[in-house]
Structure 1
Amino acid sequence: MVATAPARARALWALFEPIHAVTYFAPEALTAYQDAGLRGFWRGYFAGRAAPLGPVGPEPVVAAFFNFAPAMVARALPDVWAVAPPERVLEIRRTGAVAALRRLLAGQEAAVERAAETLVPRSAGLDSAGRVLTAANTALDFPDKPVERLWHAATLLREHRGDGHVAALVAAGLDGCEALVLRAGDDLPRAELQPYRGWTDQEWEAAGTRLTDRGLLKPDGAATENGRELLRAVESATDRAAERPWRPLDVEETSALTALLTPLATACSTVLRFPNPIGVPKPPG
């Protein structure tokens, strides 16, 4: 079992991320958005994830989500709020996520309750300074039922880590498209990144040229050693930024939490594919 807080932060992210991700990929969640008039995957995605921010336009979402093409975001926002206002979307995303979790985690209700009891203290009162999506979700009340509390805790922890990841990418001097192009040159297929973030071929190639000029990418699109080192530095900074909730846990407590979350994450991961655009790995085992 990993001993340092940053390493624990990375290992546990792979376990709570799938619990959150049902919000976007489970059929129950997709149906909830569609039934509310939010047709098409991306209208539901942008509405659901941005709803805690209020009825915003595309600019704050481009900034907070970081690696989506502005034109793609603008096709959804602010028009989605005319279909369903943010307060309604918050209810829709909760309903869809909970319905999915109840199906996927059927028979594991006791584990769900224990996991919620463990994750809620880690996610309540998160430091949200400089973390826009964390702060917006922190302003929402914790639900009462265990499965809803588990989902909300996973969502808070996921956005907390994501906000820190964006900060690490900005500090590394990468823009949204460059971050994806460099990642595609290392370990994730371009086909899993470009189409799902909305960048045109021209924008993708321009980002590749900028990275090549910096010595981070080879002409064939593969990351150089300097490029891979920059990605490692970004991931390390992300882990450090995400470590605070896990500092109180010792190795034994982390091992117990890992054992508790692994079967839950494995069940939730059945609605994902691997590799996937969010970069989460398949849970161990």
Structure 2
Amino acid sequence: MTSRDTLVRGLWTLFEPIHAVTYFSAESRAAFAAIGLTRYWDGYFAGRSAPLGAVSAAPVTALFSGFAPMLVERALPAAWSVASPAAVLDARAAGAASTLRTLVPDEDVAARAVAALAPIAAEVDTIGRPLAAANRALTATGDPYRDLWQATATLREHRGDGHVLALVTENIAGLTTVVLRSGLDLDTSSMKRSRGWSDEEWDDEQSDLVDRGMLDSDGLITSAGRDTIDRAEQLTNRLATTPWSGLSDARLAAVAAALAPLANACAPLYPQPNPIGMPTPWDAAADPSGATILAGPTPR
């Protein structure tokens, strides 16, 4: 029988594509540019951290994990002198909602999805999960596209906060994760570029992982490295289950059915593999038991 952890991971593959439009869509970039955040990373770091207020670079680097401090420091706190957190919150919601409305113009589809997901997002556990807590505290707007996107943001950050805790537990947080995953399933050149690390920093970390027995001399993951990734993913999956714990498998399947049309409409926006490690959406209709859901990342 498929475990509850795995089914919840399958649900992540359905709400993550809806949430991630804010990082990939032209409408989202245009919404940030309209308030003066014309550079991609200004919109990314300000947009994702805006629920916390006008936060500086250091805590964002710590909370997001994996980004070079210098990359974050280029955006924050300078972005707050261009646009307030309130303006950024409105821009990120407007851009995401515009994208979702274009991809799925039937508002009833969005309304069914938000009715299924918003009550779950409202009940996420937030101790030790600052990004989830800050997103959960935002009020609903009455626009089904905005409210659906915000529900996915809360659940995505809940899982993300737990993932960082799992990476810290395995002593692979920050740059270590990025280099290790690049030896498994992510593209080294794109990850180095998108996370802002220098060649020297990358090479030093790779050398350390070779010394730890997690990468081989060619930079490919070893069995020990894969075991570490697997433990971190398993803990991430377990930590993500709490908001769903009171729901039956049938209710989980109903949530999956409500999200599927939107997740599938959003999926073509993302390359595979993509820099955020997002898998293809779970086809809950064809696989209601979740037998095809992978428990973690797979090698390239």
- Judge conservation of contact 2:11–2:282 (CA < 8 Å) in 1: no
> Take 2:108 and 2:95, find their aligned partners in 1: how far apart are those partners?
21
Partner residue in 1 for 2:49: 50
Partner residue in 1 for 2:213: 215
Partner residue in 1 for 2:58: 59
- Judge conservation of contact 2:45–2:75 (CA < 8 Å) in 1: yes
Partner residue in 1 for 2:112: 114
> Take 2:131 and 2:273, find their aligned partners in 1: how far apart are those partners?
25
> Take 1:260 and 1:187, find their aligned partners in 2: how far apart are those partners?
29
Q: CA deviation at 1:284?
A: 4.2
- Judge conservation of contact 1:33–1:44 (CA < 8 Å) in 2: yes
Give deviations 1:149-203, integer Å, cap 9, x for gaps: 2111100000000000000000101131110111011111113321111011111
Question: Is 1:27 paired with 2:29?
Answer: no
Gaps of 5+ in 1: none
Q: How does 1:1-285 map to 2 (within 5 A)?
A: 3-107=2-106, 109-284=107-282
SS in 2 for 1:127: coil
Q: CA deviation at 1:257?
A: 2.2
- Judge conservation of contact 2:42–2:75 (CA < 8 Å) in 1: yes
- Judge conservation of contact 1:15–1:262 (CA < 8 Å) in 2: yes
Q: CA deviation at 1:254?
A: 2.1
> So what's the TM-score if we normalise by structure 1?
0.96
- Judge conservation of contact 2:116–2:258 (CA < 8 Å) in 1: no
Q: CA deviation at 1:225?
A: 0.2
Q: CA deviation at 1:276?
A: 0.8
In structure 2, give the amino acid aligned to 1:172: E
Gaps of 5+ in 2: 284-300
- Judge conservation of contact 2:66–2:178 (CA < 8 Å) in 1: yes
Q: CA deviation at 1:145?
A: 2.0
> So what's the TM-score if we normalise by structure 2?
0.91
- Judge conservation of contact 1:3–1:251 (CA < 8 Å) in 2: no
Q: CA RMSD in A?
A: 1.3
> Take 2:42 and 2:143, find their aligned partners in 1: how far apart are those partners?
28
Q: CA deviation at 1:209?
A: 1.1
Q: CA deviation at 1:96?
A: 0.9
> Take 1:190 and 1:262, find their aligned partners in 2: how far apart are those partners?
31
Identity of aligned residues (%): 46
- Judge conservation of contact 2:28–2:99 (CA < 8 Å) in 1: yes
Q: Could you list the runs of 4 or more consecutive aligned residues of structure 1 that deviate by over 6 angstroms after TM superposition?
A: none
Q: CA deviation at 1:243?
A: 0.5
